[in-house]
């Protein structure tokens, strides 16, 4: 009986000796941005292709709209950086970002510089299908750079 | 001896139970369940209507607003605002005017890291873009999800 009691006490000590529950499945951070594509080329498409049937999760987009050192971008109607496979099935819901043509003075200046963050990720609408980000046709002396950070997951 | 064997068996049974339990997970699947799934965009005066599924709520994660001039200067005028309904405090964002041709005077990026939940479940959230001043263009993107 004495030995049995000792054994039970030993078992109880094991129960309280267990380590705390983990809050992350692995040491790797699974929702971190892993990839980046960027371009400063006019009328260019960035294609974010997921592996297999996974989805694209965008975590950040950076945009800057500047003029080069050799001239001034003539004032014109705004153009748009557009996207596909983001925001829903309707094309009208696809995200787009407006770009001004530029200041009438200020060679080398930037008229827009901003970053868009999606804290929990912006998931592509259709799994297994690329997301595209398309730069507009630039006005002479205008340069728009767009940088997209993302990762893939089910 | 019999009791000792019984005790050891009991101990082994408890140990198996202890070491069989896995760690508590914080995400049910590898899929990221709190990602934003929907968006609406507009570059004209009007109302974006974000309708939840059934009795769910709209959760807004990000709104970005750009306020630019077209090929001609925007005349100076009283400020207008991008307004909302069915959001706590009904947030709104003021829009200026009076800028030179081709210029953008505002690039506002509003981020809600854990989401901004609609006030009334089962009811649409609206984001209302004001009438533009002459030669003004305001662009709005709203990124959101529908969830309980």
ipTM of the complex: 0.77
The first and second tokens of residue A137, run together, are 């046709």
* Cβ separation B15–A11 shorter than 8 A: yes
Mean of the per-residue pLDDT values of chain A:
86
Domain hosting A145: range is 33-153
Q: How many domains does chain A have?
A: 1
A86 CB near a chain B CB, below 8 Å? yes
Q: Is A2 part of any domain?
A: no
Q: What is the pLDDT of residue A142?
A: 93
In terms of C-beta density within 10 A (0-12 exposed, 13-18 middle, 19 or more buried), how is residue B16 classed?
A: exposed
The first and second tokens of residue B60, run together, are 């807004």
Give A33 to chain B, closest Cα distance, Å. Answer: 13
A39, B41 Cβ separation under 8 angstroms:
no
Strand partners, B47: B128
B26 band by pLDDT with thresholds 50, 70 and 90 = very low
Which of A87, A103, A117 faces B38 most closely, judged by CB atoms? A87
Query: Which CATH code for domain B35-147?
Result: 2.60.120
Q: Is A39 part of any domain?
A: yes
Nearest-CA neighbor of A86 among A52, A55, A63?
A55
Residues 129-148 of A with CB under 8 A from B: none
The tens digit of pLDDT for each residue in B85-132 reads: 999 999 999 999 988 888 999 999 999 999 999 999 999 999 999 999
What is the reported pTM? Answer: 0.79
* Cβ separation B61–A119 shorter than 8 A: yes
A77: left (phi over 0), alpha (psi -120 to 50) or beta: beta
The first and second tokens of residue A35, run together, are 């990839």
End-to-end CA distance of chain B: give it in Å, rounded.
Answer: 59
Can you tell me the mean pLDDT for A105-129? 92
- Number of A:B CB contacts under 8 A? 176
- Length of chain B as a residue count: 148
**CATH assignment at residue A60:** 2.60.120
The answer, yes or no, to whether residue B8 has pLDDT greater than 80, is no
């Amino acid at each position: 009986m004495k030995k049995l009691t000792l054994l039970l006490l030993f078992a109880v000590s094991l129960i309280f000796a267990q380590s705390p529950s983990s809050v992350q499945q692995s040491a790797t951070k699974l929702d971190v941005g892993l990839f980046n594509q960027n371009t400063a080329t006019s009328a260019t498409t960035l294609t974010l292709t997921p592996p297999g049937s996974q989805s694209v999760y965008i975590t950040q987009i950076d945009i800057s709209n500047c003029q080069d050192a050799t001239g001034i971008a003539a004032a014109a109607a705004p153009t748009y950086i557009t996207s596909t496979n983001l925001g829903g099935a309707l094309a009208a819901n696809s995200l787009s970002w407006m770009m001004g043509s530029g200041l009438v003075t200020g060679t080398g200046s930037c008229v827009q510089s901003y970053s868009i963050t999606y804290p929990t990720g912006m998931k592509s609408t259709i799994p297994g299908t690329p997301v595209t980000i398309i730069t507009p046709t630039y006005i002479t002396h205008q340069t728009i750079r767009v940088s997209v950070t993302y990762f893939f997951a089910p | 001896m019999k009791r000792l064997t019984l005790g050891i068996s009991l101990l082994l049974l408890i140990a198996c139970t202890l070491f069989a339990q896995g760690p508590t997970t914080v995400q049910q699947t590898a899929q990221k369940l709190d990602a934003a799934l929907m968006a609406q965009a507009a570059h004209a005066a009007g109302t974006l209507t974000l309708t939840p599924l059934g009795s769910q709520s709209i959760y807004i994660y990000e709104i970005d607003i750009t306020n630019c001039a077209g090929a001609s200067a925007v005349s100076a005028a009283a400020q207008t605002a991008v307004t909302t309904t069915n959001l706590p405090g009904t947030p709104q964002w003021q829009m200026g005017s009076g800028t030179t041709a081709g210029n953008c005077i505002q690039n506002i990026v509003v981020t809600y890291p854990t989401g901004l939940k609609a006030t009334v479940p089962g009811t649409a959230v609206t984001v209302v873009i004001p009438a533009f001043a002459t030669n003004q263009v305001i662009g709005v993107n709203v990124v959101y999800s529908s969830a309980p």
